[in-house]
Amino acid sequence: MRKFLTSKAGFFSVIVLCFWIKSYIIYQVEFDLGVNNILQQFLLFFNPLNSGLIFLGLALFARGRKAGVWLLSIYTTLNLLLYANVVYYRFNSDFITVPVLTQTGNFGSLGGSIADLVAWHDLFYMVDLILLLVFFIKTKANWSTERLPMRKPLLVLVSGVFLFTVNLGLAEIDRPQLLKRTFDRNYIVKYLGAYNFMIYDAVQSFNSSKQRVLASSDDITEVENYTKRKYAEPNPEYFGKAAGKNIIKIHLESFQSFLIDYRLNGEEVTPFLNSLVHDPDQNFTYFDNFFHQTEQGKTADAELIMDNSLYGLPQGAAFVTRGNNTYQALPAILQQQQGYTSAVLHGDYKSFWNRDEIYKHFGIDHFFDASYYDMADEKVIGYGLKDKPFFEESMPYLESLPQPFYAHLITLTNHHPYNIDEEDATIGPASTGDPSVDRYFQTARYLDESLEQFFNSLKESGLYDDSVIFLYGDHYGVSTNHNRAMEELLGEEITKLKSAELQRVPFMIKIPGVEGGGINHEYAGQMDVMPTLLHLLGIEARDYIQFGTDLFSKEHQDFVPFRNGDFMTEKFSRVDGVYYDTQTKEVIEEPTAEMEELRETIIRELELSDQVLFGDLLRFYSPNKEWTPVDPTQYRYGK
């Protein structure tokens, strides 16, 4: 045993073991990673091993005792990196990323006093380092001065890579598309460990900066020419009608338009939302041909599109991969043009979808995340706080905001897999035998009830009458994997065209002083919301780079592009490369020149929008003389 321990292989094994155990202890003690099943627990324990073998294994290529020096240096470096994250996490509940390191302003967010964040028990994190050093100095014997035969260190590296592959495979079972969609830094650390996260983050930052470096100020001119050409003049009946009014924006999680007026076993699923659609006294205008335009970024894409009138990226979430870009988002424009205060309220933690970073670039003043709410077990389900307590606890925050405000409330309970506590279910499940689809109606009903409760609170507080209130669905709730169940519920075949039609999500808006327009059949998408709001407030949308057009404008462009290049118009549609007559639903074998042309326009539009994000082009653009670029270092979130 003694002989083994004092050998190179023995010392390597001891150091890997220390690394493994120590990392696991730090994960458990220092980070709040939301581990909620056995597989996640296992992966948290398992993941330091592959990093240990790979990083520390590199030292084995060195000759003789130099290998030991390398082992200790790599071990110390990894320890320091992890410890830096520990300290950062204590204040920010988040991990260090390359963009954070390059933004010196963020160091201020350590609270000015690192001393407060260092704890006495941190000394324990150094004990192993000292012991290993002493151990190494004492064990002079058994270290040949030769290099190990190449195959030995190689074998260690290969086993490390193999274990990493197993690790990633298991993680993807629990969280499909973990790396492609990158939901949350916490998730990557939970599943793959802090060290793999650092590599992942470095690769992502490198890719981002590469595209950014290649872009130049000329690139924005082409984009500007396009968006100015597409621009639709405001409708004088609406322009400026809501100037200075509070804006309350309500996010209906995973809510598709087919739920409106849908009856399950003869019972309305969403009676409250239906009343907004049909009761003229409610003064709402409901757009029944409104589509979501999101991709993998889901909620994050919806947020990006609605506040910037830019498309999400073809892959991943721009919220995460372009979180550090320059934006000219609605909250910042409203602040600069009309002194609005902006806030987002949401019962999940701030790091999800990198919100706590990108919101700073949007100029969002306040972010009331889960840390502001009572997250007691009985109030939480799925991703976070249930919608009823969420709206209830949001009221004081809303009332505390300086007016006029732009407040965005993001609901959560109607989220896949649509779990609901028994006491919250006021309608029975559907009976297709597809469990998540069956429950979808129950969580949608719960959301509907929570909205009614919220509207009542708004009325009591006096905020209701004088505010613009609008609601929107962010993306589909039932994917095409559930077509069989959906066919049973809708009583029709789910063709490819039907799937595209099901991407309708509600958009309904009430504007104080303007009579509700009932049901509006204009074809439109999430992209169109920002220019609509700007014009309602009397702000010229033409100045800004925007791919959507004002919904109330007589010139509103009524084609709805999807992220994959397909589109819908009132007359014809393109779905999965096939053209259809939107009205008769028949396939069009020979597309007309008009169709081909629109297809080209849409591909161009998507490309230009991607260029804006990939090249971070808005840093080269000044919308007007008064515009001041947003300074992200001026914002901080979290309690």
Is there binding between residue 299 and ligand GP9 (CB under 6 A)?
yes
In the list 268, 307, 474, 528, the residue contacting Mn ion (rule: CB under 5 A) is 474
Q: Which two tokens stand for residue 551?
A: 């919904």
Of 57-65, 200-208, 408-416, 477-485, the segment contacting ligand GP9 by CB under 6 A is 408-416
Dist. CA 553–CA 491, nearest whole Å: 36
Instruction: Name the residue nearer to Mn ion (CB basis): 299 or 549.
Output: 299
From the CB of 346, what's the least distance to ligand GP9, in Å?
6
For residue 348, the partner it binds in ligand GP9, Mn ion, none, with Cβ less than 5 to 8 A by kind, is ligand GP9
Q: Residue 311 and residue 304: Cα distance in Å, rounded?
A: 8
Q: Which region among 219-227, 409-417, 549-557, 579-587 touches ligand GP9 (by CB under 6 A)?
A: 409-417
Shortest spacing between CB 352 and ligand GP9, in angstroms: 4
Judged by CB, which is closer to Mn ion: 253, or 438? Answer: 253
Q: Which is nearer to ligand GP9, 241 or 355 (CB)?
A: 355
| Alpha carbon separation from 522 to 256, 314, 513, 556, 601 (Å, rounded) | 17, 26, 22, 9, 20
Q: Which amino acid is at 536?
A: L
Report how far residue 420's alpha carbon sits from residue 78's, in angstroms, rounded to the nearest whole number.
43
348 binds ligand GP9 (CB under 6 A): yes
Given the residues 139, 294, 299, 443, select the one marked as catalytic: 299
292 lines the binding site for ligand GP9 (CB under 6 A)? no
For the CB of residue 416, give the shortest distance to Mn ion in the complex, in Å. 9
477 or 548: CB nearest ligand GP9: 477
Selection from 406, 284, 397, 247 nearest residue 342 by Cα: 406
Q: Give the rounded distance of the alpha carbon of 299 from its chain centre.
A: 6
Q: Which stretch binds ligand GP9 (CB under 6 A): 147-155, 264-272, 410-418, 594-602?
A: 410-418
Told to check if 616 binds Mn ion by CB under 5 A, we report no
Closer CB to Mn ion, 299 or 520, in the complex: 299
3-state SS record for 307-332: HHCCCCCCCCCHHHHCCCCCCCCHHH
Task: Give just the sign of the alpha carbon dihedral 477, 483, 487, 489.
Answer: negative
Q: Which is nearer to ligand GP9, 201 or 348 (CB)?
A: 348
Whole-number minimum distance, CB 256 to ligand GP9, in Å?
A: 13
Gap between the Cα atoms of 391 and 451, Å rounded: 8
Task: Check whether the bond before 404 is cis (ω within 30° of 0).
Answer: yes
Q: Are 251 and 474 in contact (CB under 8 A)?
A: yes
Give whichever of 30 and 474 is closer to Mn ion, judged by the CB atom.
474
231 makes contact, choosing from ligand GP9, Mn ion, none, with CB < 5 to 8 Å by partner type, with none
Least distance to ligand GP9, CB of residue 383, Å:
5
Is 298 among the residues that bind ligand GP9 (CB under 6 A)? yes
Closest-approach residue to ligand GP9 (CB): 298
Rule CB under 5 A: which of 249-278 touch Mn ion?
253
Span near Mn ion by CB under 5 A; candidates 67-75, 363-371, 451-459, 467-475: 467-475
Q: How far is the CB of 140 from ligand GP9 (least distance, A)?
A: 56
- In this complex, which beta carbon is closest to ligand GP9, that of residue 220 or of residue 410? 410
Residues 6+ apart with CB under 8 A from 391: 409, 450, 451, 453, 454, 457
558 binds Mn ion, rule: CB under 5 A: no
Q: In the block, which residue shows the tokens 């502001």?
A: 372
Binding mask 338-367 toward Mn ion (x if CB under 5 A, else -) reads ------------------------------
> Scanning residues 95 to 134, which ones bind ligand GP9 (CB under 6 A)?
none
According to CB under 6 A, which residues from 197 to 226 bind ligand GP9? none
Q: Alpha-carbon distance 624 to 486, whole Å?
A: 49
Strands 290-291 and 524-525: parallel
Per rule CB under 6 A, count of chain residues that contact ligand GP9:
8
Q: Are 478 and 440 in contact (CB under 8 A)?
A: yes
* Tokens standing for residue 479: 């994917």
Q: Using the minimum distance from each CB to ligand GP9, give the nearer residue, 95 or 352.
A: 352
Q: Torsion-angle region of residue 407: left (phi > 0), alpha (psi -120 to 50) or beta?
A: beta
CA-to-CA distance for 30 and 455, rounded, in angstroms? 41
What DSSP string runs through 167-229?
HHHHHHHHSTTHHHH---HHHHHHHH-HHHHHHHHHHHHHHHHHHHHH--THHHHHHHHHHHH
Closest CB to ligand GP9 among residues 33, 154: 33
User: CB 382 → ligand GP9: shortest distance, Å?
Assistant: 9
Q: In this structure, what are the phi and psi dihedrals at residue 561, rounded to the nearest 5 degrees?
A: -75, 140
In eight-state DSSP terms, residue 61 is G
Q: Which does 27 bind (CB under 5 to 8 A by kind): Mn ion, ligand GP9, none?
A: none
- In degrees rounded to 5, what are phi and psi of residue 429? -75, 165
Asked if residues 637 and 369 have their Cβ atoms less than 8 Å apart, the reply is yes
The closest of 262, 615, 618 to 444, measured between CA atoms, is 262
Query: Three-state DSSP class for 93?
Result: coil
Q: Report how far Cα 392 is from the mean position of its chain's Cα atoms.
A: 24
| Residue from 55, 231, 352, 562 binding ligand GP9 (CB under 6 A) | 352
Active-site residue flag, 411: no
How far apart, in whole angstroms, are the C-alpha atoms of residue 217 and residue 213? 11
Examine residue 373 and tell whether it contacts ligand GP9 (CB under 6 A).
no
**Binding partner at 383 among ligand GP9, Mn ion, none, C-beta below 5 to 8 Å by kind:** ligand GP9
Asked if 387 is part of the footprint of Mn ion (rule: CB under 5 A), the reply reads: no
Q: State both tokens at 478.
A: 């039932």
**Residue 307 binds which entry of ligand GP9, Mn ion, none, CB below 5-8 Å type-dependent:** none
- Which residue from 79, 299, 308, 520 is in contact with Mn ion, where contact means CB under 5 A? 299
Helices (H) and strands (E) in the chain, counts: 24, 19
Quote the least distance from Cβ 514 to Mn ion, whole Å.
Answer: 29
Q: How far is the CB of 415 from ligand GP9 (least distance, A)?
A: 6
Helix, coil or strand: residue 468:
strand
Which residues of this chain interact with Mn ion, rule CB under 5 A? 253, 298-299, 474
Which residues of this chain interact with ligand GP9, rule CB under 6 A? 298-299, 348, 352, 383, 410, 412, 415
> What positions carry a catalytic annotation?
299
